[in-house]
């Protein structure tokens, strides 16, 4: 019996989504190529423009979040005529924000199939394990490097590039991006560890130990704070429905990780007072963003124009244009109060839907959907917290990770609400 062509396209998307999550940390080109296949499969499989479409974006439970997203996109488009660089703003809208939104929509529909969600989870964790092995290899190269002269750096043993930060970067170009990816992996693993009624596999414990070890080696303050807030969010979501034993073991692991972090960061007082060089550099960037906001508070300077305007507003900058390293300040500087309010409304709408789904109680099967939703929710909360200290929304791989996970969470929530 011949299969419905639309079902074939749906199945293609449901198999390509896990592949996207696996290649995400390793190849920007692969992400961009997969986007076109995912988009074509989504349009031909779900046909969201038709009234008879089975897309979740036509259901009443998810329609509010779609409306908020469209309002945010519309606001970014409407202020292009007032942009200081209209061409840059149009390019940013089409090639970045619109593309990220499509990842969100595609992932949401693909996540209606629970098997696809689980495949995406395991693909992401497999990518995390691969990134950890790569990172440990880099750390070995760093620890065994002997400089022959000033300004020399150890080399990546696989890519052959200099490790200019003196810290592991994994498949990314800087340590903070790696820390973001590992932070997300950590909260997904912790959600699994604390939701299983039987003793969790020992591999998961080794995995979380490796993640915490890498995070302490990296020493990203934003990722550490994000992980702490995400862990608190996970605890508040799951504490009534999870086993107490794993939480005690996790507490011990976190204490060991904290001790290692304190040992590695002997200049902790300098970090806490934000007098270290990285914090001072961020202070310059934040000040530039704040001055942009003061100049054009309501509509901003235009999407995708922050770096183009940076040198005009930066005081004390010693290098060229830079991102704000605070995504919320940068959104406000580029799209004004209108843009940041609509973006935060979108985030609030997402949180309302997933919390509503989580209120229906936690399942107890080996890989239940609701604990997975709890883990993704905690990971996205952590991502948002770290975004206040970094460039997560302006790095392709980080942004695709955020929007795709966000779409998965909405798809899971829609499935739960429909089944309850």
CA dist., res. 258 & res. 92, Å (int)? 40
Q: DSSP letter for 60, please.
A: T
**Torsion sign across C-alpha atoms 408, 204, 363, 241:** negative
**Torsion sign across C-alpha atoms 255, 358, 397, 313:** negative
> What's residue 1's pLDDT?
42
> What's residue 267's pLDDT?
61
Q: DSSP letter for 152, please.
A: -
> What's residue 365's pLDDT?
43
Among 411, 382, 417, 67, which residue's Cα sits nearest to residue 228? 382
Among 224, 231, 220, which residue's Cα sits nearest to residue 188? 231
> What's residue 257's pLDDT?
77
Q: DSSP letter for 97, please.
A: I
Contacts of 65 (CB under 8 A, 6+ apart): 346, 349, 350, 353, 410
| Number of Cβ atoms within 10 Å of the Cβ of 64 | 15
Find out whether 373 and 188 touch, Cβ atoms under 8 Å.
Answer: no
Helices (H), 59-97: 63-78, 86-92
| Number of Cβ atoms within 10 Å of the Cβ of 100 | 19
Find out whether 202 and 249 touch, Cβ atoms under 8 Å.
Answer: no
The SS3 assignment for 224 reads helix
Among 418, 393, 394, which residue's Cα sits nearest to residue 406? 393
Q: What is the pLDDT along the chain (420 residues), one digit of tens a residue?
A: 445 778 999 999 999 999 999 999 999 999 999 999 999 999 999 999 888 888 999 988 899 999 999 999 999 999 999 999 999 999 999 999 999 999 999 999 999 999 999 999 999 999 999 999 999 999 999 998 877 667 788 999 999 999 999 899 999 999 999 999 999 999 999 998 888 777 788 999 999 999 999 998 998 989 999 999 999 999 988 876 666 778 878 887 888 777 777 666 656 555 555 667 777 888 899 999 999 999 999 999 999 999 999 999 988 765 788 999 999 999 999 999 999 999 999 999 999 999 999 887 555 444 478 889 999 999 999 999 999 999 999 999 999 999 999 999 999 999 888 876
> What's residue 251's pLDDT?
84
> What's residue 94's pLDDT?
96
Structure tokens at 65: 């979040």
Find out whether 327 and 393 touch, Cβ atoms under 8 Å.
Answer: yes
**Torsion sign across C-alpha atoms 379, 383, 386, 391:** positive
CA angle 329/344/235 to nearest 5° reads 105
Structure tokens at 302: 């235009």
Contacts of 15 (CB under 8 A, 6+ apart): 119
CA dist., res. 89 & res. 82, Å (int)? 10
- Dihedral in degrees, nearest 10, Cα atoms 243, 244, 248, 250: 30
> What's residue 4's pLDDT?
74
**DSSP character string of 106-175:** HHHHHTTSHHHHHHHHHHHHHHHHHHHHHHHHHHHHHHT---SSTT---B-TTT--B-TTSS--TTSSSH
- Dihedral in degrees, nearest 10, Cα atoms 404, 409, 415, 420: 180
> What's residue 266's pLDDT?
59
């Amino acid at each position: 019996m011949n299969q419905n062509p639309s079902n074939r396209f749906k199945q293609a998307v449901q198999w390509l989504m896990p592949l996207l999550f696996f290649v995400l940390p390793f190849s920007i080109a692969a992400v961009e190529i997969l986007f076109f296949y995912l988009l074509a499969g989504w349009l031909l499989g779900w046909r969201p423009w038709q009234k008879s479409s089975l897309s979740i974006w036509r259901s009443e439970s998810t329609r509010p979040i779609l409306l908020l997203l469209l309002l945010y996109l519309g606001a970014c488009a409407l202020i292009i005529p007032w942009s200081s660089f209209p061409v840059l703003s149009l390019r940013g809208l089409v090639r970045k924000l619109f593309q990220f939104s499509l990842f969100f929509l595609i992932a949401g529909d693909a996540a209606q199939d629970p098997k696809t969600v689980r495949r995406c989870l395991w693909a992401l964790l497999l990518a995390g394990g691969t990134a950890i092995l790569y990172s440990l290899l880099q750390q070995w190269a760093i620890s065994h490097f002997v400089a022959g002269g000033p300004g020399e750096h150890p080399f990546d043993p696989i890519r052959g590039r200099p490790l200019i930060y003196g810290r592991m970067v994994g498949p990314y170009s800087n340590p903070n991006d790696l820390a973001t990816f590992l932070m997300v992996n950590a909260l997904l693993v912790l959600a699994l560890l604390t939701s299983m009624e039987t003793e969790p596999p020992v591999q998961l414990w080794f995995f979380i130990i490796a993640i915490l070890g890498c995070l302490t080696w990296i020493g990203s303050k934003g990722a550490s704070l994000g992980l702490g807030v995400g862990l608190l969010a996970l605890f508040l979501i799951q504490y009534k429905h999870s086993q107490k034993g794993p939480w005690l073991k996790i507490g011990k692991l976190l204490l060991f990780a904290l001790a290692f972090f304190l040992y590695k960061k002997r200049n902790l007082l300098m970090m806490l007072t934000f007098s270290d060089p990285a914090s001072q550099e961020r202070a310059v960037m934040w000040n530039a963003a704040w001055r942009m906001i003061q100049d054009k508070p309501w509509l901003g300077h235009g999407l995708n124009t922050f770096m183009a305007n940076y040198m005009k507003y930066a005081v004390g900058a010693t290098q060229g244009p830079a991102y704000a390293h605070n995504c919320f300040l940068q959104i406000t500087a580029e799209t004004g109060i209108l843009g940041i309010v609509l973006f935060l409304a979108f985030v609030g709408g997402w949180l309302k839907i997933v919390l509503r789904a989580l209120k229906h109680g936690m399942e107890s099967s080996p890989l239940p959907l609701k604990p997975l939703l709890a883990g993704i929710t905690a990971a996205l909360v952590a991502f948002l917290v770290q975004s206040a200290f970094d460039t997560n929304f302006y790095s392709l791989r980080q942004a695709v990770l955020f929007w795709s996970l966000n779409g998965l969470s909405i798809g899971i929530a829609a499935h739960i609400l429909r089944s309850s």
